[in-house]
Structure 1
Amino acid sequence: MTPSGSKIWRWKYRVGGREKKLTLGPYPLLSMKAAREARDAARMQMNAGTDPGAVKREAKRKARIGESFKEIACSWHAGKKAKLTPRYAKHILSRLEANIFPQFGSLPIKDITPPMVLEAIRRIEARGANTMAHEVRGHVSEVLVWAIASGLAETDPAAIIRKALSPAGGGRRSAVLSI
């Protein structure tokens, strides 16, 4: 029984000499037979060398955030937009929705490769929007870096293609004075 008064099934186990407890489920909703089956499944994970509590936490985190690029990008944007002006935050999201989500937004983030990102960015360059292509690549890279920090990805394919893009052009030019 917890301090709040709820009754739950728990399993006490040790990993690396440390005692841990795994919550299997609430008492009246989870029968004793089901609790024993859950405990046995957790014991099998432990025998395989993994911490069942860590597996459960990872599954909860992935369910909360999602694994597709679009879901992760929306989570990243939700956290970042508090630090941005509303107008710029809207621009970032609309750029991703128009240029990136149709290409690989539904794919799991771990399946995204540098050629996929390069193809999406090349489509922007084909429209003649080189500066926009560089900005969108930067946004994609920020999403991927955030995913790496969150443990959802291992690499940043958008950073790899940076040198493969056409120059952004534009830049500052000196004034031309007519005489």
Structure 2
Amino acid sequence: MLELLAILSAAAAGGLRLALPLLLIGLLQGPQLWSAVPLLGKLSPYWVVGVLTGWAFLELFLRGHPWGYRLIILVQLCFSPFVGALLGMTVATATATPQWLVGTLSGLFALVVQLVQVGWFYRLGKLPRWLVVAQDILCILLILFALKAPTQGGLIALLLLWLVVRSAKDWRQQQQRTQKQLR
């Protein structure tokens, strides 16, 4: 059960950001860096650090421009299932569950979180700066909790899932009200 909560926590972090959780996982692994991450362990650590650091800065600094924010959201939407799957498989190394199942479920969870983020972006026009900072802090906490305190990280991820479902339900109800008014 603890492994499931850790997987959910890591997948939720992958749904919030792409590079930051992967960078933290690697740096928290110690001298082996990304040896536990399925795909990144086969690449040069210097190259991985450079690419992930560069993308983390792009995620942070391009949010100020409308076109940059749209570009980041598009890339995050495309790659969040992949990053969520990598993070979930990395955290679930000790479980007997097949890696393909862990990767699929954590990738889908990351995609759902990212889809709701995209929905909020298009609903509000632009996310407030304090919310972007809160997402970064939450992403860092989810990775730390996934590795050190999976119960708390999993509970935060389940709370995040509840917020995702609640947002989708509210959007659907508002869409139905709008359609009734148009008739």
> Would you say same fold, with TM above 0.5?
no
Q: So what's the TM-score if we normalise by structure 1? A: 0.25
The higher relative CO (CA closer than 8 Å, separation ≥ 6) is in 2
Q: So what's the TM-score if we normalise by structure 2? A: 0.25
Q: Which has the higher strand share?
A: 1
Q: Which has the higher helix share?
A: 2
